[in-house]
Amino acid sequence: MAAKDDLYAKVTPRRQRQTRPSTVKHGSSLDVLLSMGFPKTRALKALVSTGGRNVQAACDWLFSHVDDPFLDDPLPREYVLYLRPSGPLLHQLSHFWQQSRVTCGKNKAHNIFPHITLCQFFMCADAKVEALCEALQTTVSQWKGRFPNPLPLELYTSSNFIGLFVDEQVAEVLKTFASDFANEAAAKADAHVEPHKKQLHVTLAYHFQTNHLSSLEKLAKGIDVTQGCDWLAVLFSRDIRFANHETLRTMYPYTPQNEDELELVPGDFIFMSPVEQSSASEGWVYGTSLGTGLSGLLPENYVSRADECDTWIFHGSHSFLNPTSPTDMGGALGGMLLDSQLDSRLLDDPSPLDPPSLICQPMQMLRPNSQPRLPKRTLFVCRHGERMDVVFGKHWISQCFDAKGRYVRSNLNMPASLPARTGGFRDYDKDCPITVFGSTQARLIGEALLESHAAIDFVYCSPSLRCVQTAHHILRGLQQEGKTMIRVEPGLFEWTKWVAGTSLPSWIPTADLAAASLSVDTTYRPHIPISKLGVSESYDMYINRSFQVTREILSECQNLGNTVLIVAHASSLEACTRQMQGLSPQNSKDFVQVVRKIPYLGFCACEEIGEMGVWQLVDPPILPLTHGPNHTFNWRETLLQD
């Protein structure tokens, strides 16, 4: 096998992308691909690069990589074996991941999910990957009853590192397991695996700012390492060419204007190396698309930083408590699958072992059929509560603010106080608050979610004050106020065509919202900044924006939580869920008719089904909330009649 440095040196610029339609036939995945005329090397590469899911995924990969200059190059992928926690311990670690990111921002540990490294990255030929997966299955089966449970973990902190270290004697046992896997991999897959020789540990944080140490250490001390956990042996792979590259996520579509530019598709990933930037001018970077294998220049502000593991491919997970034999998936790489008999405790785990995201759609993750599943990912979308300007009319501002801008309510359904605005109270004209009853509506939704045991892991909302306030009161009803922070996302704002005038609302900055005791995340970086929103956007632009930001939100939260709540506008219930189900957008006329039927606090649920990335609307876990108008009552006019 060629030296790794020689393989990295083969990276060259790509040509332009071409696409073709694909068809799928029945039979063995590899046999079907060969019968379609694909060379065996290409067919194997496609199957391995898509996790061995099915023929359709492999065909999609092949057609999107038709001009990839490495398509016929026998470059092997790099593989790694991790121990991943599950059950209550994973839930605690995922909560730490979320809170540390909110409190102190992203550090190097966030690039990869919680794990214990069992070996160094190693290479395996595409034709041997099925045997490699069988080697892992065999080794885990041999260790049934021998794997130490629970694993004793001890917290360790230094000035730039925080982690949970495995007791040395137990660590030696784990290293023996890694050695057994290395022997099986060498015998069955001709792969050279080097077991990890350093101290085994779960990294919690490293390369963080010094002033964040005390906050991170306090969060780490809150992790109960004695919680139950079924440690899973999990196999991942990555493209060997981009091991030392920075991973970027495409945020906006871009059509090349010159031959040396790269087409950008939202949801795709871009690999960027500092040594390749000599040809890029200011504001541009040179990168390679994961989805196509093509390289070129791209505008820097069209991409954002992603986690390293976002582009890894998942090849199998096996429980030490219930190891089973490989399940035949009817394809050449049938051994690459999630273990079908995980401990039943996983079924109740609110933070399941979901593999990291693969690549831009339509590629999806492999799942076993007709077998117990991990908890499904769920997306809730909710409209804001009752708004002031609808109840009291557009002139409510002149009724409630005096000449000096002081607010005094004139009705019990008006809030007792309002957040101060740097632009003055006239900014409320386009960005009104919710009423007291709107706050009550939102709290009722939160209480209902609490009663249904539907814990919310992440909350995103439109920048409109009515949405932020609604999200805040939902969290209050959930008893998660101050624990789960609201991520204010401008990309969730309603269709800008509906905004009166020639400018967008002057929304309250997150720092001012936090100062007004609203539970917002002031460190959150939006997927679509306010500067990217324009007045009077077309219907297609709004629908595509909503779809794009929803996908990016779900991708951002993957592996860190199971349930996402979006609080936005009536239009969001349709715009944020329809294309997630694989449906085409409705025409604008039908869309408007749907939106008109959605009341305050209208609530819908969208659940991931089958393979990763496929969603469907399901019954929400809460009852509907019905409410009616209550006109102003003047006792003088009604009761003092002659």
Q: Which residues are catalytic, by number?
A: 383-384, 569
Pairing state of beta strands 563-568 and 458-461? parallel
Strands (E), 491-614: 563-568, 603-608
The answer for residues whose C-beta is within 8 angstroms of residue 325's C-beta and 6 or more apart is 137, 141
Instruction: Decide: 180 and 142 in contact? Cβ < 8 Å.
Output: yes
Instruction: Decide: 94 and 560 in contact? Cβ < 8 Å.
Output: yes
3-state secondary structure of 473: helix
Q: How far is CA 596 from CA 132, 441, 541, 563, 574, in A?
A: 55, 19, 20, 27, 11
Calpha distance 88→99 (Å, rounded): 17
Instruction: List the end-to-end C-alpha distance of the chain, in Å, as a whole number.
Output: 103
The tokens for 290 are 């994961």
Helix (H) or strand (E) holding 458: strand 458-461
- Supply φ then ψ for residue 261, to 5 degrees: -100, 155
CB atoms within 10 A of CB 636: 7
- Supply φ then ψ for residue 313, to 5 degrees: -105, 135
Q: How many CA atoms lie within 13 A of 274 on its CB side?
A: 1
Tell me which DSSP letter residue 296 carries: E
Q: How far is CA 358 from CA 83, 125, 252, 378, 612, in A?
A: 20, 20, 18, 19, 9
The tokens for 448 are 């209902």
Sign for the pseudo-dihedral over CA of 102, 103, 107, 112: negative
Q: How far is CA 434 from CA 151, 341, 416, 565, 587, in A?
A: 50, 48, 12, 19, 30
Calpha distance 379→604 (Å, rounded): 8
Tokens 């939580």 locate to 561
